[in-house]
Structure 1
Amino acid sequence: MKPRAVLLDLDGTLVDHDGAAAAGLRGWLPALGLVATDEAIARWAAVQEPHLAAWRDGRITFAEQRRRRLRDYLGADGADAELDELFAGYVTHYESAWRAFDDAAGALAALAAAGVATAVLTNGTRGQQLRKLSRTGLADRAGPVFTVDDLGAAKPHAAAFHRACERWGHPPAAVLSVGDNHALDVLGARAAGLSAVHLDRYGRGPADEPHRIASLRDLPPLLGAARLT
């Protein structure tokens, strides 16, 4: 079965999360008396992943993963309310830097013109992700939005994909998952019975991935091909 619907990731796929995070750190860290070096920005990304994984698995809350990130990154060990206020300073700068990738709107328009349904499956929280789509001008283009808050499961768990497809009204075998995170958006989707394409914007691989694109502009032509397994 050829894909007749495309389930898109949000951060790193439609919206430049890494760019916004870096800008957020450059605005936030100096207020704490710290220098936002390239190394400091890279360490933020490295520190967050174990705690995000724990949240995706349902072992901690979203707020708690933020607190744990701060404890690891800054060595901060205040009360929960203090850590939440501290993190809010970063979020303010991060949200002000949200930008859609320059290929996102055009790809969504091309898919819509071809009669291909689109939706978003994101591991972000619903409120923040809806604001992100709205501020970047993609809210009316992307289709339904499915989040962890809605589904009770996060990528790469099969339940996230199955519940999104069920609510969307498309069988998994008819849906193509597209995202920048190979483990979450590609391997997780395939394990759940969807087709998948890796959006590898920066050529980081894995090199043996057979279905890979460098831009969302490359996506609409793929839908005329055979099923992408």
Structure 2
Amino acid sequence: MRAVIFDLDGTLLDHIGAATQALHWWLPELGAPSPTEDRTEAWFVAEEKHFAAWRSREITFAEQRRRRLRDFLPLVDISISDDDELDEVFAGYLRHYEASWKIFDDVDETLRALAELPVQTALLTNGTDDQQRAKLRAVGLEGRVGDVFTAESLGVAKPDLSTYRTVCQALQVNVDCALHVGDLHALDVVAPRKAGLQAVHLDRTNAGPCEEPARIRSLRELPKFLYRSR
């Protein structure tokens, strides 16, 4: 391998942990009780539903946030329809989400190990340029993961095959000499393989698919795949 391309949320940064903590701080500020397991799950269902619509360029980034709140707030007996008010409410959640950003405990040592090897690293993430770069700065990863490519900067999001190939072209490596690593099997494994890259599924939660041959539970297992033949 000549390059390792990382996903960000769920791979290097604990997005679910940060969002869950943010809900526990944010909802009481709205006069709602701390979230139950069901309501926390509902938050992530709404997030995935409407973030996917932004990813496919059907709606704006701000609108996907508003739609998430329109789905979720009635579950905690709050009714808001005005866009400006929804934006203000989401800003409260966002402050707590940002304060909860942290990396997984296997990230530092993995990046240090890769820095000793003759491989490039890069980041390919489905998000906005400002927010994803802010995450890297906040958790001490700025300048440590190589070039950063976002869905916003590329104008297209994973799993579009052009995203993976564009990163390889920018790094000046052949696609079959690049290894993509991420937590979402469809976006981070299936799609990059279709684009010609190799890929490893980082399955931190043991969700599967268990039959995936290149499946790891921790980034500590990653280096062995740098020398694995196709």
SS at match of 2:64: helix
SS at match of 1:6: strand
Alignment correspondent of 2:52: 53
Tell me whether 1:17 sits opposite 2:15 in the alignment.
yes
State the Cα deviation string for residues 151-182 of structure 1 (Å, max 9, x = none): 00111111221222222322222111100011
Alignment partner for residue 104 of structure 1, among 103, 107, 112?
Answer: 107
Alignment correspondent of 1:142: 145
Moved more, 103-112 or 70-79: 70-79
Structure 1, unpaired ranges of 5+: none
Alignment correspondent of 2:161: 158
Alignment correspondent of 2:88: 85
What is the alpha-carbon distance in structure 1 between the residues aligned to residue 87 and residue 124 of structure 2? 26
The number of residues matched between the two structures is: 225
SS at match of 2:26: helix
Tell me whether 1:205 sits opposite 2:208 in the alignment.
yes
What is the alpha-carbon distance in structure 1 between the residues aligned to residue 204 and residue 162 of structure 2? 27
What is the alpha-carbon distance in structure 2 between the residues aligned to residue 185 and residue 57 of structure 1? 16
Structure 2, unpaired ranges of 5+: none
What is the alpha-carbon distance in structure 2 between the residues aligned to residue 77 and residue 27 of structure 1? 20
- Give the 4+ runs in structure 1 shifted more than 3 A: none
State the Cα deviation string for residues 111-157 of structure 1 (Å, max 9, x = none): 11012111000012111111111111111211111001210011111
TM-score between both structures, scaled by the size of structure 1: 0.94
Alignment of 1:161-200 (within 5 A): 161-200=164-203
Letter in 2 for 1:55: W
RMSD: 1.2
What is the alpha-carbon distance in structure 2 between the residues aligned to residue 212 and residue 84 of structure 1? 39
What is the alpha-carbon distance in structure 1 between the residues aligned to residue 85 and residue 198 of structure 2? 44
- Deviation of the 1:77 alpha carbon: 4.2
What is the alpha-carbon distance in structure 2 between the residues aligned to residue 164 and residue 85 of structure 1? 36
State the Cα deviation string for residues 21-56 of structure 1 (Å, max 9, x = none): 001111111111222222221110112212111111
Letter in 1 for 2:12: L
Checking the alignment, whether the CA contact within 8 Å between 1:152 and 1:160 is kept in structure 2 is no
What is the alpha-carbon distance in structure 2 between the residues aligned to residue 164 and residue 150 of structure 1? 12
Q: Percent identity?
A: 53
Letter in 2 for 1:213: I
